[in-house]
Structure 1
Amino acid sequence: MKTKQFVYGIKGNIVYSKYPEKIEICDNSYLLYEGNKIIGVFSKIPDAYSEIQVKDYGDRLIIPGLVDLHVHAPQYAFRGLGMDLELLDWLNTNTFPEEAKYKDTEYAEKAYRIFVDNLRKGATTRACIFATIHRKSTMILMDLLEKSGLSTMVGKVNMDRNAPDYLIEHTEESADETVEWIEEVIAKKYSRTRPILTPRFIPSCTDELMKRLKMIQKSYQLPVQSHLSENYEEIAWVKELCPESAFYGDAYDQVGLFGKDCKTLMAHCVHSDEEEVKRIKENGVYVVHCPESNTNLSSGVAPIRTYLDEGIHVGIGSDVAGGATENLFAAMTYAIQASKLRWRLQDDSLKPLTVAEAFYIATKGGGEFFGKVGSFEPGYEVDAVVLDDSRLLHPQELTVQQRLERMIYLSDDREIYAKYVAGEKLFERG
Structure 2
Amino acid sequence: MSQNLVICGNFVHATNTEYMIVKEGYCIGVKEGKILFFEPKDRLEECIKNHQLEACEIIRLNPFQFLMPGMIDTHIHASQYPNAGKGLDLGLLEWLNKYTFPTESRFKDSQLASDVYSKVVSNTLRNGTTTACYFATIHTDSSSLLCDQVAKHGQRALVGKVNMDQNSPDFYVEKSDDSLAETKRFVEDVLKRKNPRVQPVITPRFAPSCTVGLMQELGKLAKENNLHIQTHISETLDECEWVKALFPEAKDYVDIYDQAGLLTSKTVLAHGIYLSGRERKVIKERGSSISHCPNSNLSLRSGLLDVQQVLKDGVRIGLGTDVSGGYSPSLLDGIRTAIHVSNTLAIYNKEYKPITHSEAFMMATLGGAKALAMEDTIGNFEVGKEFDALTVNINAPGSHIDGFDDDGVSDYIQKFLYLGDSRNIEEVYVAGKKVIPVTDAQ
Whether these two folds match at TM > 0.5 is yes
Q: Secondary structure at the match of 1:226?
A: strand
Task: Give the letter for the 1:292 counterpart.
Answer: N
**Partners of 2:236 and 2:17 in 1: how far apart?**
27
Cα deviation digits, residues 207-258 of structure 1 (max 9, x gap):
1111111221122221100001110011111111111111101100001101
1:305 to 303, 308, 316: 308
CA offset at residue 377 of structure 1? 1.9
**Partners of 1:98 and 1:406 in 2: how far apart?**
37
Kept in 1, the 8 Å contact 2:366–2:375? The answer is: no
Partner of 1:359: 361
Partner of 1:37: 34
**Partners of 1:382 and 1:327 in 2: how far apart?**
20
CA offset at residue 19 of structure 1? 4.1
**Partners of 1:137 and 1:429 in 2: how far apart?**
25
1:309 to 1:237, Cα distance in 2 relative to 1, 3 A? same
**Partners of 1:99 and 1:322 in 2: how far apart?**
13
1:401 to 1:91, Cα distance in 2 relative to 1, 3 A? same
2:407 to 381, 390, 398: 398
Q: Secondary structure at the match of 1:300?
A: coil
1:20 to 1:269, Cα distance in 2 relative to 1, 3 A? farther
Kept in 2, the 8 Å contact 1:22–1:357? The answer is: yes
Q: Secondary structure at the match of 1:420?
A: strand
**Partners of 2:17 and 2:194 in 1: how far apart?**
36
Partner of 2:420: 411
Structure 2 residue runs of 5 or longer lacking an equivalent are none
User: TM-score, normalization: structure 2?
Assistant: 0.92
**Partners of 1:7 and 1:304 in 2: how far apart?**
39
Task: Give the letter for the 2:25 counterpart.
Answer: N
Partner of 2:298: 295
Kept in 2, the 8 Å contact 1:419–1:427? The answer is: yes
Cα deviation digits, residues 77-100 of structure 1 (max 9, x gap):
011111121111111111001001
1:16 to 1:244, Cα distance in 2 relative to 1, 3 A? same
Partner of 1:281: 284
**Partners of 2:81 and 2:17 in 1: how far apart?**
30
CA offset at residue 72 of structure 1? 0.2
1:49 to 1:286, Cα distance in 2 relative to 1, 3 A? same
Partner of 1:272: 275
User: TM-score, normalization: structure 1?
Assistant: 0.94
1:203 to 203, 208, 212: 208
In the alignment, is residue 85 of structure 1 matched against residue 90 of structure 2?
yes
In the alignment, is residue 9 of structure 1 matched against residue 1 of structure 2?
no
In the alignment, is residue 25 of structure 1 matched against residue 22 of structure 2?
yes
**Partners of 2:167 and 2:281 in 1: how far apart?**
29
Structure 1 residue runs of 5 or longer lacking an equivalent are 1-5
CA offset at residue 35 of structure 1? 2.4
**Partners of 2:190 and 2:19 in 1: how far apart?**
39
**Partners of 1:20 and 1:314 in 2: how far apart?**
15
Task: Give the letter for the 1:92 counterpart.
Answer: N
Cα deviation digits, residues 304-336 of structure 1 (max 9, x gap):
101112221110000000111111111100000
Q: Secondary structure at the match of 1:393?
A: coil
Identity %: 37
CA offset at residue 419 of structure 1? 1.1
Kept in 1, the 8 Å contact 2:150–2:157? The answer is: yes
Kept in 2, the 8 Å contact 1:281–1:311? The answer is: yes
1:259 to 240, 261, 264: 264
Kept in 2, the 8 Å contact 1:333–1:408? The answer is: yes
